Amino acid sequence: MPDATKSLVGLAARRGSSLGLRAKEGACAIADVDPEILNGLGLVTVNFAMLELNISVLIWALTGGEQAVARQVTFRVPFSRLLQLLGQLATYRFSSEQAILKSFKDVINLADQAREQRNGLTHAWWTSADKPGFGSRIHGKPMSVAGFQDISIEDVRNVANVIATAVVQAGSLLKHVKQEEGPNTIVLSMEGPA
């Protein structure tokens, strides 16, 4: 067994959980994490899905709105690449309208920050923390054996709120994109989370 794995197992054992799972009646296993943390992680995930949709819709609109083309352009493209593509398209479409272009760049920067914060939460292994309202995480990367980090529910909610702000701001950019209705166009109205 590699040293990193031994260290990770040792850290987990010291935290009192081998895999961060405990059996519960009526279920195979559930994460051994405060339910509020799990709820917050769910909100992060759902908000991020809405952000990805809003970014994709902006790209679709900036490519002309033809649905078949739009789907091909964004299908299975990593989020960071979607942001690059949106930036390139916005620069092309709005090079003479600096205020609008700045709005796109601001949203892209906020969306990238949201991506980094979301990844810090979702690409981690979670277990219970020693205090209520906290979860403990460690990243699954081999070099991140530095230890568990306790994360509060407020920290998780703050990330969800950053993402929600990016969703609303990305959706507000649609007003700058003129859509003509036709048989092959995408006509969507985007709103932020309630």
What tokens appear for 26 in the block?
A: 């009526």
Give the pLDDT confidence of 29-46 residue by residue, as tens digits. 456 788 899 999 999 999
87 within some domain: yes
Q: What is the pLDDT of residues 118-166, one digit of tens each?
A: 999 998 888 888 888 898 888 766 555 556 889 999 999 999 999 999 9
87 pLDDT above the threshold of 50: yes
On whether the CB atoms of residues 29 and 103 are closer than 8 A, the answer is no
23 domain-assigned: no
Residue 3 lies in a domain: no
Domain contains 167:
yes
Q: Indicate the pairing of strand 149-152 with strand 134-139.
A: antiparallel
For residue 112, being part of any structural domain is answered with yes
Residue 21 maps to a domain: no
Please tell me the total count of domains within the chain: 1
User: Range of 37's domain?
Assistant: 33-176
Task: Name which residue leads in pLDDT, 190 or 76.
Answer: 76
**Is residue 190's pLDDT more than 50?**
no
- Note whether 186 and 70 are within 8 A (CB): yes
Residue with tokens 């920067």: 109
Does 192 map to a domain?
no
Domain membership of residue 119 (yes or no) is yes
Whole-number mean pLDDT of the chain?
A: 79
Let me know: does 33 contact 21? Beta carbons within 8 Å. Answer: no
